[in-house]
Structure formats: C-alpha cells, structure tokens
Amino acid sequence: MTINSDWYLALAAVLFSIGAFGVLVRRNVLVMFMCIELMLNAANLTFVTFARMLHDIGGQVLVFFVLVVAAAEVVVGLGIVVAIFRRRANATADDLHLMKG
C-alpha cells in the first residue's frame, strides 16, 4: 500500500494554512515564530513531494537551503525576542518599537 502524492500535497496545504492563520491571528512573538516554522516545513514537504514525483534531486537540495535559512531566521528572531523579554515581562508583535535606541 503506497500513499499517493496528492495526500502529501494536501497535508502540506493544511499545515501551511494553519501556520498562516497562526501568524495572522496570534500576537505572541514565540507563537508567530512557531507558525512561520510550520509554514516553512509545509513548503519543504511540497518540495520533497515534487522531487519524488519528478524523480529529481533538485527539490531535496532546495529543502536543505530552506532549512539553513530557517535556522538563521530562528537565531536572529530569538535574539530579538530575548532583547524584548529583558525589557518587559511579555513580548507581543506590537512591542518591536522598543528596539529603538
């Protein structure tokens, strides 16, 4: 029993939709970062699915680069969140104006 590629693409669409909804609705910065990571993983699943369908390794190479960019995004983003948490007890997306010198 093999799973059709359409199921992987449907799962990626659902994951991306949940991540986009979370970014648009939630104001907590940490939750927003988790939702962005969910969206990136949905895109990675799509790339791997198409690479498998087309018998091409290019999609898997692209996933590697997306993971590298996601790791860099987490490092920079968490640095900003830690800087905000040092000034206030909680951090929301509206608190980014606190980063002005």
Domain span at 94: 5-99
Predicted confidence at residue 12, as pLDDT, reads 97
Domains in the chain, number: 1
How many Å apart are CA 87 and CA 37, to the nearest integer?
A: 26
Q: Terminus-to-terminus CA distance in the chain, angstroms?
A: 60
Contacts of 54 (CB under 8 A, 6+ apart): none
pLDDT in tens, 69-89: 889 988 988 888 788 778 777
- pLDDT above 70 for 101: no
CA torsion 32-27-75-13 (nearest 10°) is 10
| CATH code for position 57 | 1.10.287.3510
